[in-house]
Structure 1
């Protein structure tokens, strides 16, 4: 099991799609998982990885489908800004990410409500 703060990246065929684990998860061999060592580095690492997708894709190999191997990924270095800058980054970015997640949840709930109500409105079952 991977911890709730893990960063997941697809590493086969469609390389470079990301997810943040909000709870403990398991993945298959088609993912590279990064578990931040510091609480304040999760989003920094995510954005660092997202900015390097083209590099990841260029290092992938394979004839049937491209794959970025874990060995190749481990050889890559990360420019580390230091604890103070990471903490500043977290203070700025965490509320933004939280708002994005809240809005995505609300959007999903609104979509469900629309899908339940629209047919009833269209059929006349619910008055307008």
Structure 2
């Protein structure tokens, strides 16, 4: 388990032209994560407590009412801010089992948050959750992998189609592309 970190916002060399995805808790919404809103540079990664997380890492938001305990499944290498806890398993089926366990028990986990102004979870609290884990033979035979591979492929396809739409729509609207002769 790892917490994230935020490079200094005022240091442009940590942010400008960055190519390392950096996630905020608002991007974690019980979802498969295929992109981020912000990026940091190699220098920003090196000079902060941010850590590069591998594909198939589970990330959990730690702070905020309605935000704490939300989870995401990384489908890209990424970093996160310090309001996230990353969980790395050594096997994809075990990752998916943990992801679904956390999702199923999310309300109970959120209720463990404490704080008078803002509800907070901690890495230690998450690390000490009691999880009943079935034998490997059962986990290996569950259809998690196929289902989440399909979900991931669909997310990437939606992202690709959205980009194509965003390129074509303005060209259609200004008449740069004429579709009047196309039969449907």
Q: Which range, TM-score by smaller chain? A: 0.7 to 0.9
Conserved in 1, the CA contact under 8 Å of 2:75 and 2:152? Answer: no
For residues 64 and 114 of structure 1, the distance between their equivalents in structure 2, rounded to whole angstroms, comes to 43
Gapped regions of structure 2 (runs ≥ 5) = 1-50, 180-184
CA RMSD of aligned residues (A): 1.7
Deviations 1:29-83 (A, max 9, x none): 2112222244430100000011111111111011221101222222220011111
Q: Which is richer in strand? A: 2
Instruction: Give 1:12's aligned residue.
Output: 63
Instruction: Give 1:79's aligned residue.
Output: 132
Deviation (angstroms), 1:12: 0.8
Which of 118, 122, 127 pairs up with 2:169? 118
Instruction: Give 2:35's aligned residue.
Output: none
Q: Could you tell me the TM-score, scaled by structure 1's length?
A: 0.87
The aligned length equals 126
Deviation (angstroms), 1:98: 1.0
Q: Could you tell me the TM-score, scaled by structure 2's length?
A: 0.62
SS in 2 for 1:64: coil
Q: Which is richer in helix? A: 1
Q: Which moved more, 1:15-24 or 1:114-123?
A: 15-24
Q: Which runs of 4+ in 1 moved over 4 A?
A: none
Instruction: Give 2:106's aligned residue.
Output: 53
Instruction: Give 2:148's aligned residue.
Output: 97
For residues 107 and 88 of structure 1, the distance between their equivalents in structure 2, rounded to whole angstroms, comes to 29
Conserved in 2, the CA contact under 8 Å of 1:16 and 1:56? Answer: yes
Distance 1:118-1:73 versus aligned 2 partners, 3 A rule: same
Conserved in 2, the CA contact under 8 Å of 1:15 and 1:53? Answer: no
Gapped regions of structure 1 (runs ≥ 5) = none
For residues 42 and 17 of structure 1, the distance between their equivalents in structure 2, rounded to whole angstroms, comes to 16
Deviation (angstroms), 1:107: 0.9
